[in-house]
Chain A
Amino acid sequence: MIKKTPSSRKTEVTDSGYDARQAPVNAKLGRDEKIEFFRDMLRIRRFEERCLRSYQGGKIGGFLHLYIGQESVAVGCVSVMGGDDHIITAYRDHGHGLAVGMGMNEMMAENYGKYTGCSKGKGGSMHYFDPSRHYWGGHGIVGGQVPLGTGIAYALKYKGIKGACLTFMGDGAVNQGAVHESYNLAALWDLPVVYIIENNGYSMGTSQERSSAGESLAGRAAGYGMNWSIVENGHDVYEVRDKVSKALKLAHDQCKPSVLEIRTYRYRGHSVADPDSTYRDKSEIEEYKSTKDPIMLYQNALVAEGVLTDEIIKKIDDSARAEAETSAQFAEQSPYPTLEDIKKDVYWEVDNPQDKKSVGNLFFD
């Protein structure tokens, strides 16, 4: 339910008896689609568990920000995107990558810094891109992608394309000035953008209460006259689908931006090497895992519905694990970029000498 210029209440008042399963986008779902959502979430989890092993084995450098616990968000959001919609996010970008259809091989190889990676080993885990699937990254600077998502929406509108840009950020990113400047531009010029705050409760070791003033993160949209809404149960892929599809419709039909805050949770440390003990209790993680794990809950629901059986679950899980394992082998066996590759992909002209129009030196080694 999208709400117009709301009061400053912490959460949206939803009709009692709201049942996301009955929402039009969900009521019409067939068996295969439901299994697909389940498979996609499980593939994200198994992929990331395999990444973690590789990281611990020293195969992956730098940071590794795992999405484990948040799978329903990327899968739910992407599942309602249309052919002209686009997506951009921050550095916790593996889930969105798999959800849009990137392959585990190119993703794992990127993590290993191999030439076969989606960014040829140049960007690493935080910087996945696949413009062919309308996925514009993978961005390491907190909040930095938010003006970009706004610009993609601007270009869509300019070109007369009836699409929108899902622009993701974390609960910590909402305090960057660039986010607020983007909100204003989007609202001022009616841009087809859906800002999605993946609120997992923490920015690194800082809880929402310790970093953000005001009662609601999404509610800040009201100051810009923008529509906003909260997905209380971000672990429920159906609720995510329902609310995101409404926000997308607003963007498509009326060219209006909106802000959606999706409540979710991350299980691992901020980046896997980060300590996890200064800001939350283990019991908090265990509690969430045992009561709100998005994959477990969806699995239970589909079993109860008769869509999934133990046998099908096992088959899907085995194949997700095998796919992840294969991606690690692929990454392992792939070559690294060469020294010459370091100097490629810096300038268009250098990579496309037939188009070179400028004169003079571009490099100074």
Chain B
Amino acid sequence: MPVITYREALRHAMDEELNRDPNVVIMGEEVGQFHGAYKVTEGLLAKYGPKRIVDTPISEAGFLGMGIGSAMLGLRPVMELMFFSFYSVAFDQIFNNAANIRYMSGGLINCPIVIRGPANGGTNVGATHSHTPESIAAYHPGIKVVVPSTPYDAKGLLKSAIRDNDPVMFMENTILYGEMGEVPTEEYLVPLGSAKVMREGKDISIIGHGRAIQMALKSADMLKEKHNINAEVVDLRSIRPLDEATILASVKKTNRVLLVEEAKPFCSVSAMLACIIQEKAFDYLDAPIRRVTSMDAPAIYSPPLEKEQLPTPQKIFDAALAVLK
């Protein structure tokens, strides 16, 4: 199987969908002539031309809202946010218009748009550029939220997101763009809402999404090596829809839970998971649920400190031991 980067996997997904469906268009700042700020869309302008690969001015509320309107008339726009953080410039368009149009029209209108871009910390770009708004987005009924952690999932999930008839916020990660992984040449889809057991284990379930999963896998190796602990690592892959069945099956198997994510702790995805797990699997828990999240403050710029503010494999390792104590 070919080994490609997360970035290439995303590009291949868009390429295949552009090729398959003439209603798919790519829009965003610097996606065409500049090849994308993070080179995700490189080469697409040359292949599909400026009608389908559209460089927009810097006006997120305007062009995202325009994408939403065009989706109402049947286009399938894939809108790039150079940084996902800039979603807040278009907050009203996304959460009032895209999220509600189907409901308020009594199902007469739907909005098959994908809003994608990197949502992560860890690159020293300061608080305004380092938001991880999975929980804010997923809070809104009508919106779907997807967070791939591997090249395989990046491709399979993006293709599903583009074909989905609802608005999907697709959160990538600049630090993962260069990560390599096996991606089949033949076409495949990864359905939204299916979590993936990345590593099987019987002692503790480490559950999360995004780059925190890559860290959790490292921590799981450390737990095995140093303490002969078999951790199960579950990657949510999509936040809404959420694969409760896979989460609960893992909890019932290991009876101990550590939740990990890069976002802040208050009202976060892990906070929601903790609630679901205690509601639906309380009797299976042998220890309180713990979490590893980012420290609860805006993202600091200072490079060595930002590293400490975010989850690390060591923090996940320590927290797992605490759950097992």
Contacts and interface: CB of A to CB of B under 8 A. Distances in A.
B304 A336 contact: yes
B301 A121 contact: yes
Contact of A365 (B55, B295, B302): B295
- What DSSP secondary structure best describes chain B's contact surface? loop
Interface in A87-146: 113-114, 119, 121-124, 126-127, 139-144
Nearest to B33: A278
A339 B305 contact: yes
B104 interface: no
Contact of B124 (A124, A176, A364): A124
Interface in A156-191: 172-173, 175-178
Contacts of B58: 142-143, 172-173, 175-176, 203, 211
B191 interface: no
A127 B299 CA distance: 13
B35 interface: yes
B302 A337 contact: yes
A339 B307 CA distance: 10
A365 B308 CA distance: 13
A260 B61 CA distance: 25
Contacts of A126: 125-126
A102 to B, nearest CB: 17
Interface in B19-34: 29-30, 33-34
A210 interface: yes
B96 interface: no
Nearest to B125: A62
Interface in A254-294: 274-275, 278-279
A123 B89 contact: no
Contacts of B303: 61-62, 113
B129 interface: yes
Interface string B248-287: 0000000000000000111000000000000000000000
Interface-central residue, A122, A172, A173, A175, by most chain B CB under 10 Å: A122
B59 interface: yes
B141 interface: no
Interface stretch (A1-9, A245-253, A297-305, A340-348): A340-348
A151 interface: no
B302 A113 contact: yes
Interface in B294-325: 295-298, 300-306, 308-309
A212 interface: yes
Contacts of B190: none
A113 B302 CA distance: 4
Contacts of A201: none
Interface string A186-219: 0000000000000000011110001110000000
Interface string B84-104: 011001000000000000000
Contacts of A365: 265, 293, 295-296
B135 to A, nearest CB: 13
Nearest to A63: B125
A113 B305 contact: yes
A307 to B, nearest CB: 41
Interface residues of A, number: 45
- What DSSP secondary structure best describes chain A's contact surface? loop
Contact of B302 (A63, A122, A139, A177): A122
Given A204-B30, A342-B297, A175 B57 contact: yes
Interface residues of B, number: 40
A173 B30 CA distance: 14
Nearest to A114: B302
A277 to B, nearest CB: 10
A18 interface: no
B126 A124 contact: yes
Contacts of A363: 296-297
A140 B126 contact: yes
A167 B198 CA distance: 51
Contact of A123 (B33, B85, B301, B309): B301
A176 B59 contact: yes
A123 B305 contact: no
Contact of B128 (A121, A141, A178, A210): A141
A336 B129 contact: no
B297 A177 contact: no
Contacts of B264: 364
Interface string A42-64: 00000000000000000001110
B126 A123 contact: yes
Given A206-B34, A342-B295, A62 B126 contact: yes
A116 B61 CA distance: 37
B302 A206 contact: no
B301 A364 contact: no
B298 to A, nearest CB: 7
A336 B298 CA distance: 17
A278 B35 contact: yes
Contacts of A144: 128
A204 B35 CA distance: 12
A6 B282 CA distance: 71
Contacts of A63: 125
A342 B127 CA distance: 12
Contacts of B309: 342
B49 interface: no
30 contacts: A61-B301, A61-B303, A62-B124, A62-B303, A114-B302, A122-B127, A122-B301, A123-B126, A126-B126, A127-B128, A140-B125, A175-B62, A203-B58, A204-B30, A204-B37, A210-B33, A212-B57, A278-B35, A336-B305, A337-B302, A339-B308, A342-B295, A342-B297, A342-B305, A342-B309, A343-B296, A364-B264, A364-B266, A365-B265, A365-B293
Given A62-B125, A127-B301, A363-B297, 20 more contacts: A61-B124, A61-B306, A62-B126, A63-B125, A113-B124, A113-B301, A121-B302, A122-B127, A122-B300, A124-B126, A141-B89, A143-B89, A175-B62, A205-B34, A210-B33, A274-B37, A336-B302, A337-B305, A339-B308, A364-B266
Nearest 6 CB-CB pairings of A with B: A61-B124, A113-B302, A124-B301, A205-B34, A62-B124, A121-B302
